[in-house]
Amino acid sequence: MAAREKFVKRYVVRLSVEEREQLESLIRKGKSPAQRLLKARILLKADVSEAGDGWSDSKIIAALETSASMVYRVRKQLVEEGVEAVLSRKQRAAPAVPPIFDGEKEAKLIALACSKPPKGRVRWTLRLLESKVVELNIVDRASDSTIGRALKKTFSNPIAANTGSSHRRPTARS
């Protein structure tokens, strides 16, 4: 008997006339990212106001070929934060991966890269720099690609400077 009880939706979508017009205009233009257009369509289909369709979640999922969790999240965000929050992307508070080199560590890396290479070497390689920055406790760990990106960003890549690949002069043929 409990399984047949009517399910009451916790997040009911009721759009104002202005909100409906905004969403319909967004869809008509079709110049927004696909995710934003999908969210607008979900809201319009889920709207239970007089102008809305009031579709069930299962009908929306089938018609728009989306997931139940997507419909739930869009409903929830609308009720809790409003239409603008649903349509805009939330910016991360912090980068996904914190940078290994801050300003001070990067300066030490650059100074090391510009210094005299180890005995028996003509120049620093990225792998040599990788092991040396860990050995000198500048950073706990770093890959050669991270070292390369840090040096490329500052235009002090000793490898490119020694090979002359960073500043090519145009030839008569090019």
Express each pLDDT in 26-55 by its tens digit.
Answer: 999 988 899 999 999 999 999 988 888 889
- pLDDT (mean) for 111-116: 91
pLDDT at 4 over 50: no
Question: Tell me, what's the pLDDT at 76?
Answer: 93
For the chain, the residue count is 174
Question: Tell me, what's the pLDDT at 152?
Answer: 84
pLDDT at 87 over 50: yes
Q: Is the pTM of this model over 0.75?
A: no
36 contacts 84 by C-beta, under 8 angstroms? no
| Average pLDDT of the chain to the nearest whole number | 83
Going by pLDDT thresholds of 50, 70 and 90, the confidence category of residue 71 is very high
Question: Tell me, what's the pLDDT at 96?
Answer: 77
CA distance linking residue 159 with residue 167, whole number of Å:
12
pLDDT at 160 over 80: no
pLDDT at 100 over 60: yes
Going by pLDDT thresholds of 50, 70 and 90, the confidence category of residue 5 is very low
* Alpha-carbon separation of residue 126 from 76, 129, 157, 171 (angstroms): 49, 5, 9, 30
CA distance linking residue 102 with residue 138, whole number of Å:
10
Pick the closest to residue 144 from 168, 109, 92 (CA basis). Answer: 109
- pLDDT (mean) for 133-145: 90
Please enumerate in sequence order all residues whose Cβ is within 8 A of that of 4, keeping only pairs 6 or more positions apart, or say none. Answer: none
Going by pLDDT thresholds of 50, 70 and 90, the confidence category of residue 116 is very high
pLDDT at 157 over 90: no
Instruction: Using a pLDDT cut of 70, give the percent of the chain over it.
Output: 82
48 contacts 20 by C-beta, under 8 angstroms? no
Region of 16 please: left (phi>0), alpha (psi -120 to 50) or beta: beta
113 contacts 137 by C-beta, under 8 angstroms? no
